[in-house]
Amino acid sequence: MSDVRKSQILMVFLVGFIFSTTVVQAQMPRLVLDIKVGIVDTYSGPPAVFSNDALNGFKLALSDINKAGGVLGSRITFVTRDEKFSPETGLSMARELVLQEKVDLLVGTINSATALAISAYAREQKIPFIVWIAKSEVITGAKGHRYVFSTGENTAMAGKALAQFAASRPYRRWWIAGEDYEYGHAIADAFWRYMKQLKPEVTLAGQTWWKTGEPDLIPYLTAILSARPDAVFFGTGGAGMANVLKTMRAIGFAERVPTAIHTAIDYTALKPLGLNAPEGVMGTTDYLFYYPETSDNQSFVRAFQSAYGTPPGFPAFHGYITAYFIAEAFRRAGSLDRERFIHALEGLRVRTPVGMVEMRACDHQAVLPMFAGVTQKSPKFDFLVASNIVTFRGPQVMPTCAEIQHARGQ
Amino acid sequence: MVLGFLASQLLVGLSRAMILFIVSAGLTFVLGVLRVPNVFHGSLYMIGAFSAFSIATQLGHHPASVWVAFLTAPLVVALIGLAVERTLLTRLYQREHLMLILFTFGVTLVLNDLVKLAWGADYRSILPPPVLQGSAVLMGVPVPRYNLFLLAVGPLVALGMWLFTHRTRIGKLARAAAVDREMVALLGIDVNHVFAGAFLVGAYLAGLGGALVAPSTSITLGMDHTILIEAFLIVTTGGLGNIWGALLGALLFGLTQSLGVLIWPQFAIVFPYLATASVLLVRPRGLLRSVW
């Protein structure tokens, strides 16, 4: 190819590029009054299942809010950015959303490391940031501050709920196992911390950790069986969770030793395995679409099901209540001023599918109930559900404000 | 009982080694004959698993559905592999290795996105065929029947590879090309056909590994990375291009993993890597003769 021809092609591309960007910008003038939410989350790779679920819940709530006239006379709109599960990418996306897109607040993400990176940026820029899936307890705990909020449960709440649920049973020698990454250790630490508080006589028989994405867990699980502990706690989530459940079923693990896993009763974890998930596993979650059977929950589930063809998982619930927290806070603030928004959000109570939920003022953590139960088959569904459900109200599972202040070194 | 656990760990480790061997054999065969470090071998494995899922679920509850998936999914993958080889890779054989790595890496990104388009980001699961579900109890310890089945498949694949490379014309040519490709070309043999055939076999093995692993794990995006790293380690430990080396490397990797769990469960992750690293320290070119 001659140089002349190359430069011609290059010119065509350049002109086309400039033209396309101007056309796009001309077509989408920004309404001055729109409230714009910038969402950074993982939309590629395995975590996208959860992130898309959260986004769907958020969209469902927004369409209701906007149909009802929006807030302060403006619609709430949003833009999304894919952080690809990388804190560096997530942080630069957040910067871009704030500087280029001029969003009014940031929302995200499933990745705790990204959430913490954006949280630090939000603090520096004085822009509100609502975390909706990431479960690290330091987000609103030790590293919490004025500009960061969380609308989902965290490892402290989950660990405490599951510890309370399991402590009522006669198990003393526990084995702790899990996936060797931040969440796996964080949830295991929280569970064990509260377990020892509630029941000082428990002992740790041993630990097993495997690498994330480890396809074959049979050697790990049979080795645990050989140690004959009274009960086992697994720190795992996402695709790793499906693997643990599948392996448990293959070797009849739960029949041999009682097992507790946070999110083991969760719909997103149980659905892929259908009726072949193990029964009798103790688990916790902060949302179940079939419980409580209140009209608020049922109408949310119906609306979600008709919009997306599947029942909502816990991320959808977080996304849904996030939208209501945002709308209510702006309504209460009476303006788009960020400081007034934060002031309005602190202590705000909104009506959600699981009842009234408060955004606790001292740590900016949504006071969510936690549900604990045991996996079981049900004639109503073609996947396992939770049975013997116990509800722990938020204050029963959350660290106290004094503990939070202590963790923040105040 | 203790003996029972030891035996079950051994069996399970061996069965894992069989999957690793099947995948690594494909990688090392392509590496030996074509001199291509095929980075998208892992993606082919992933496509094998996803295809097995689709085929098995399409056929529904028929007891033979998973067997059909085992037979057909690897063929689908082999054809995809062949298509990439014929349309793109064949133009790049004369380039240096770095270029080939970059190109095959590029293909992994494309295939990853295609898998996401075709199957979505959800993780999937299929069950073993009905006769292989549940576990057999050996000396009081449960061992999944499916893993016992894998123990039988591995040697069959090894035998199949031996027959292919020693008893078929194209297999012999592939072996010859691995040793001296110029000479094969000088003898008037169309090396292109040999390459296409070898790549087809490599891709088939990746797909077979993926289809066979599907019932014992969750099928997800990202499963390609794990297997690729392990397979490259195994291939390097065994000696580049040497199929029997891949078998040895896979056994070493699988067994150190499952026995390591018994010895020191908290740090079980490191055992297979420690073992392969030690081998490479002592024998930098691998356990068996490398054809490179």
Q: Which residue of B has its CA nearest to A272?
A: B124
8 Å CB contact between A371 and A389: yes
- pLDDT of A318 > 70? The answer is yes
A344-353 pLDDT, tens digit each: 999 999 999 9
Report whether the peptide linkage leading into residue A292 is cis, meaning its omega lies within 30 degrees of zero: yes
Q: Which two tokens stand for residue A269?
A: 């974890």
Residues of A in contact with B257 (CB under 8 A): 219
Query: CA B53 → CA A309, B68, B71, B222, distances in Å?
Result: 21, 11, 12, 16
A154-165 pLDDT, tens digit each: 999 999 999 999
Nearest 5°: phi and psi at A77?
-115, 170
Q: Which residue of A has its CA nearest to B3?
A: A226
Coil vs helix vs strand at A126: coil
pLDDT at A179: 92
- pLDDT of A30 > 60? The answer is no
- As a whole number of angstroms, the longest Cα–Cα distance in chain B is 62
Give the rounded percent of residues in chain B with a pLDDT score beyond 90. 59
Burial readout A305-315 (b: 16 or more C-beta within 10 A, e: otherwise)? eeebeebbbbb
8 Å CB contact between A328 and A105: no
* CB within 8 Å: B216 and A242: no
Class of residue A188 by CB neighbours under 10 A (exposed 0-12, middle 13-18, buried 19+): buried
Q: Which of residues 274-293 of A touch B (CB under 8 A)?
A: 274, 276
A231-284 pLDDT, tens digit each: 999 999 877 898 899 999 989 999 999 999 999 999 988 988 888 899 999 999
Give the C-alpha separation, A236 to A257, whole Å: 18
Class of residue A33 by CB neighbours under 10 A (exposed 0-12, middle 13-18, buried 19+): exposed
Pairing of strands A105-108, A129-131: parallel
Give the C-alpha separation, B55 to B191, whole Å: 34
Tell me the residue type at A337: D
Residue in A227, A218, A185 with CA at minimum distance from that of residue B257: A218
Contacts of A173 by beta carbon, 8 Å cutoff, 6+ apart: A202, A203, A205, A229, A230, A231
Which pLDDT band, with edges at 50, 70 and 90, does A63 fall under? very high
pLDDT at A23: 42
- Would an 8 Å CB–CB cutoff place A16 in contact with chain B? no
Coil vs helix vs strand at B198: helix
In the beta sheet, which residues pair with residue A233?
A176, A260
Give the C-alpha separation, A283 to A180, whole Å: 20
Which pLDDT band, with edges at 50, 70 and 90, does A12 fall under? low
* CB within 8 Å: A46 and B222: yes
Q: In what order do the strands lie in the sheet with A370-376?
A: A203-210, A173-179, A231-235, A259-262, A282-285, A370-376, A385-392
Alpha-helical regions (H) of A148-276: 155-167, 182-198, 218-227, 238-251, 253-256, 267-270
What pTM was estimated for this model as a whole? 0.83
Q: Which residue of A has its CA nearest to B16?
A: A216
* CB within 8 Å: A274 and B125: yes
pLDDT at A386: 96
CA atoms within 13 A on the CB side of A286: 31
Minimal CA separation from A12 to chain B, in Å: 26
Coil vs helix vs strand at A385: strand
Q: Which two tokens stand for residue B93?
A: 């054989």
- pLDDT of A206 > 60? The answer is yes
Coil vs helix vs strand at B68: helix
Give the C-alpha separation, B272 to B255, whole Å: 8
Of A45, A48, A273, the CB nearest to B125: A273
Q: Which two tokens stand for residue B156?
A: 């069959």
B259-275 pLDDT, tens digit each: 888 888 878 888 999 99
Query: CA A142 → CA A67, A136, A362, B164, distances in Å?
Result: 39, 10, 12, 62
B148-158 pLDDT, tens digit each: 999 999 999 99
Alpha-helical regions (H) of chain B: 2-34, 41-58, 65-87, 97-119, 145-167, 169-179, 181-186, 191-213, 223-238, 243-263, 270-282
Nearest 5°: phi and psi at A135?
-110, 5
In the beta sheet, which residues pair with residue B282?
none
Minimal CA separation from B266 to chain A, in Å: 4
- pLDDT averaged over every residue in chain A: 91
Q: Which domains does chain A have, with CATH numbers?
A: 156-290+370-400 (3.40.50.2300)
Average pLDDT value for residue range B223-230: 92
* CB within 8 Å: B9 and A219: yes
B67-125 pLDDT, tens digit each: 999 999 999 999 999 999 999 998 888 888 889 999 999 999 999 999 989 998 778 88
- Would an 8 Å CB–CB cutoff place A218 in contact with chain B? yes
Coil vs helix vs strand at B98: helix
* CB within 8 Å: B268 and A206: no
| Polymer length of chain B | 292
Q: Which two tokens stand for residue B5?
A: 């656990």
Average pLDDT value for residue range A65-90: 94
Residue in A103, A65, A93 with CA at minimum distance from that of residue A322: A65
Which pLDDT band, with edges at 50, 70 and 90, does A68 fall under? very high
- Would an 8 Å CB–CB cutoff place B212 in contact with chain A? no
Give the C-alpha separation, A353 to B109, whole Å: 40
* CB within 8 Å: A272 and B258: no
Of B13, B226, B261, the CB nearest to A213: B226
Tell me, letter by letter, the H, E, C secondary structure of A293-348: CCHHHHHHHHHHHHHHCCCCCHHHHHHHHHHHHHHHHHHHHCCCCHHHHHHHHCCC
Q: Which of residues 157-186 of A touch B (CB under 8 A)?
A: 177, 180
Query: CA A212 → CA A209, A225, B15, B39, B270, distances in Å?
Result: 9, 21, 20, 20, 13
* CB within 8 Å: A276 and B262: no
* CB within 8 Å: A276 and B141: no
How far out from the chain centre does Cα B97 lie?
21
- As a whole number of angstroms, the longest Cα–Cα distance in chain A is 82
- pLDDT averaged over every residue in chain B: 91
Class of residue B145 by CB neighbours under 10 A (exposed 0-12, middle 13-18, buried 19+): middle
Give the C-alpha separation, B157 to B202, whole Å: 12
